[in-house]
């Protein structure tokens, strides 16, 4: 079971991450999640003001508003926790969250509520700063046999199967999700993805159209 300090560390401390390379892998330092969220907000503000190289501002509107909204909520809630615990509020979420944790070490109230909130922040920030990658699977859906689907604009498009995954997830098979955009069938998790791969091999779809998860980056 994850303890409170582990989640606080994930939000406030840098950590080593494995980065795939042509020769295997190397190690890099990843900023704390709260810092990554702050950088997402700062980057969007620079892009919106016309400076920096973040691309056209309108291409980042959804990320901008979501990151700004979440950063405001998290910073405000951490400040509230600090005031309740008697810790100084600096409006720096990293510093304030660690100060709050140090103060509550002597508290006797259960950790369950705080643990749930912090874990939700971890999930939310990761989804914002590192959204899932999407990969189109060539060929027909093994369930409905469709080779095309109708998209949101009414156009008929080939290859209804699509897979989303996170390359930084420890078990990508478990986190991966495949969907048929024609019949809405969903495959998710180890067994389901293996079942989909087997069904594609048995059909007319080449086996290599469902990639080896270990090769995805």
42-62 pLDDT, tens digit per residue, is 775 655 544 444 444 434 444
Indicate if 179 and 152 belong to the same structural domain. yes
Indicate if 76 and 115 belong to the same structural domain. yes
Indicate if 116 and 67 belong to the same structural domain. yes
- Contact between residue 213 and residue 164 where contact means Cβ atoms under 8 Å apart: no
Q: Where are the alpha helices (DSSP H) in the chain?
A: 4-12, 33-48, 61-85, 93-104, 112-129, 172-175, 190-202
- Neighbouring C-alpha atoms within 13 Å toward the C-beta of 107: 16
Record the tokens describing residue 61, joined without a space.
């509107």
Indicate if 24 and 117 belong to the same structural domain. yes
Separation between Cα atoms, residue 23 and residue 20, nearest integer Å: 8
pLDDT value at residue 150: 95
Q: Is the predicted pLDDT of residue 1 greater than 90, yes or no?
A: no
Indicate if 112 and 159 belong to the same structural domain. no
What is the DSSP-derived secondary structure letter of residue 135?
E
pLDDT digits (tens, 9 = 90+) for 82-112: 999 999 999 999 999 999 999 988 777 778 8
Indicate if 93 and 184 belong to the same structural domain. no
pLDDT value at residue 37: 92
Residue ending a domain, among 82, 104, 129, is 129
Indicate if 113 and 141 belong to the same structural domain. no
Total number of domains in the chain? 2
Residue ending a domain, among 129, 159, 178, is 129
Domain span at residue 24 reads 4-129
Record the tokens describing residue 123, joined without a space.
């999930």
pLDDT value at residue 185: 96
Residue ending a domain, among 100, 129, 158, is 129
Give this prediction's pTM: 0.63
Higher pLDDT, 204 or 34: 34
Indicate if 100 and 140 belong to the same structural domain. no
Indicate if 97 and 112 belong to the same structural domain. yes
Rounded to an integer, the average pLDDT of 140-163 is 93
Average pLDDT of the residues of the chain: 81
Indicate if 99 and 138 belong to the same structural domain. no
pLDDT digits (tens, 9 = 90+) for 146-155: 999 999 899 9
pLDDT digits (tens, 9 = 90+) for 167-217: 666 556 667 889 999 999 999 888 888 888 888 887 655 444 555 554 555
- Contact between residue 135 and residue 216 where contact means Cβ atoms under 8 Å apart: yes
Indicate if 12 and 107 belong to the same structural domain. yes
Indicate if 142 and 208 belong to the same structural domain. yes
């Amino acid at each position: 079971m994850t303890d409170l300090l582990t989640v606080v560390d994930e939000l406030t401390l840098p950590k080593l991450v494995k980065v795939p390379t042509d020769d295997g892998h190397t190690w890099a330092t990843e900023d704390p999640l709260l810092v990554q969220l702050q950088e997402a907000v700062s980057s969007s503000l620079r892009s919106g003001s016309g400076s920096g190289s973040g691309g056209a501002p309108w291409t980042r509107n959804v990320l901008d508003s979501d990151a700004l909204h979440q950063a405001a909520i998290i910073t405000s809630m951490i400040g509230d926790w600090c005031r309740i615990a008697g810790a100084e509020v600096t409006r720096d979420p990293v510093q304030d969250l660690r100060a709050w944790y140090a103060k509550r070490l002597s508290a006797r109230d259960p950790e369950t509520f705080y643990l749930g909130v912090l874990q939700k922040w971890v999930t939310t920030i990761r989804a914002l700063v590192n959204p899932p990658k999407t990969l189109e699977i060539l060929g027909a859906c093994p369930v409905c046999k469709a080779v095309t689907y109708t998209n949101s604009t009414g156009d008929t498009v080939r290859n209804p199967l699509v897979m989303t995954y996170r390359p930084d997830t420890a078990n990508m098979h478990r986190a991966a999700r495949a969907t048929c955009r024609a019949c809405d069938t969903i495959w998710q998790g180890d067994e389901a993805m293996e079942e989909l791969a087997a069904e594609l091999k048995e059909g007319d779809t080449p086996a290599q159209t469902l990639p080896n998860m270990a090769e995805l980056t």
